[in-house]
């Protein structure tokens, strides 16, 4: 998605060779118009798959799941990271290791919101090590639902996430794929280096 790549160059910042800061427009302050276009892009990619539900993980996937679900005309569900007292014991859960926070946590979705009849599209802000998305795919599997694919807003293609998902037979669509980066330079997959 050209507009997203241009925005990453303009307002994103490679803090190191592995961490990209995009909190000016994607995951802290949020550009609402760009978010709706991202949702539309995912909807266009997966519309023919008959998606019935969009899944994500709180918190930074929620607005992308909302935009995608709205464009597809279906509900979305976000996995919770901490068990609220209102969440019953009747949940699907999976363990996840957080790349950015360097800690383990558990994600859960109430069983009543994920039946075996669903055709599920998973979306998230980043595909990095794939831990969060692999956790979600495990939940979809446990529910006996059909996973149509995964949509990532930003993929760091030099990390193992895409490979892990593809090995498991999952279709992966990312709107911006970063081949490599270092402070002051971000290189997208199949393009020449772009200086910020
Ligand atoms: P995973 O390693 O499981 O693919 O990534 C899990 C989560 O870590 C992503 O959903 C995203 O919120 C966060 N994350 C991973 N890499 C980056 C990064 O380079 N920058 C930012 N801002 N968040 C990241």
**Where do the domains of the chain lie?**
2-195
Say whether 156 counts as a known binding-site residue: yes
pLDDT along the chain (196 residues), means of 10: 97 97 97 98 98 97 98 98 73 88 91 97 97 96 98 98 97 98 95 55
What is the atom index within ligand 1 of the atom nearest the CA of 21? 22
- CATH classification of 2-195 is 3.40.50.10190, yes or no? no
- pTM of the complete model: 0.94
Which residue is closest in CA terms to ligand 1's atom 20?
A: 20
Distance between CA atoms of 24 and 155, rounded to whole angstroms?
18
H-helix or E-strand spanning residue 195: strand 194-195
User: What DSSP character marks residue 157?
Assistant: T
- pLDDT for 82 equals 78
- pLDDT for 35 equals 98
Q: Which of 58, 78, 99 to mutate to test the pocket of ligand 1 (most atoms within 8 A of CB)?
A: 99
- pLDDT for 190 equals 81
- pLDDT for 84 equals 64
């Amino acid at each position: 998605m050209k507009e997203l790549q241009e925005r990453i160059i303009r307002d994103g910042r490679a803090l190191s060779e592995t961490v990209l800061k995009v909190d000016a427009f994607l995951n802290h302050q949020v550009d609402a118009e760009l978010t709706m276009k991202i949702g539309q892009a995912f909807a266009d990619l997966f519309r023919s798959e008959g998606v019935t539900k969009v899944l994500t993980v709180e918190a930074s996937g929620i607005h992308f799941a909302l935009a995608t679900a709205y464009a597809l005309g279906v509900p979305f569900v976000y996995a919770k990271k901490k068990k609220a007292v209102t969440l019953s014991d009747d949940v699907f859960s999976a363990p996840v290791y957080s790349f950015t926070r360097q800690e383990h946590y558990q994600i859960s979705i109430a069983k009543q919101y994920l039946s075996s009849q669903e055709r599920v599209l998973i979306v998230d802000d980043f595909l990095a090590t794939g831990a969060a998305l692999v956790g979600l795919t495990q939940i979809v599997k446990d529910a006996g639902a059909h996973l149509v694919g995964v949509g990532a807003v930003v993929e760091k293609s030099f990390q193992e996430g895409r490979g892990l998902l593809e090995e498991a037979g999952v279709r992966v669509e990312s709107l911006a794929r970063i081949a490599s980066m270092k402070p002051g330079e971000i290189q997208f997959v199949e393009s020449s280096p772009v200086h910020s």
